[in-house]
Amino acid sequence: MNNENFCCERLKGAYLVGNGFGLNFRVIQYSEKLYNELKQIKPSMLNRGFVITSGYKNSIDDEETMKMVINHCPFCGQNLKEFYKSDDYVQETIG
C-alpha cells in the first residue's frame, strides 16, 4: 500500500495485522455485480465498506468469518468513508 495515512494509530495497527490474528480492520471493495445490487437499495452507497473481524483464514466473505460493518472508527470516531477514499487502502474485493 502506498498510502501511509490512518485516522489513528490503533486503527492502523488493526489494519496492518494479519488476517488470522485477533481484531483486524479491513477495507473491502464490492464487486461490480454486488455494488449494483446494493445501489438499488441505497443509491448513495459507496463501492467499498469497512469491516472489523475477529480474524479469518481465507476470505472476509467466508460464512464462518465473524465480522461487523462499521462507518466510524471505533477508537477515534473518524467517518471512515470520508477518510479512506483512496483505492490504495482496499485489501479485498467481495461479492
- Where helices occur in the chain by DSSP H, the ranges are 9-16, 32-41, 80-83
What is the reported pLDDT for 59?
83
For residue 92, pLDDT beyond 60? yes
CB 71 within 8 A of CB 79: yes
Give residue limits of the domains in the chain. Answer: 9-94
Q: pTM of this prediction?
A: 0.83
Confidence of residue 94 (pLDDT cuts 50, 70, 90): confident
Segment 43-52, tens digit of pLDDT:
877 889 999 9
What is the reported pLDDT for 47?
87
The mean pLDDT of 71-84, rounded to a whole number, is 95
What is the reported pLDDT for 1?
45
Question: Grid coordinates representing 69?
Answer: 460493518
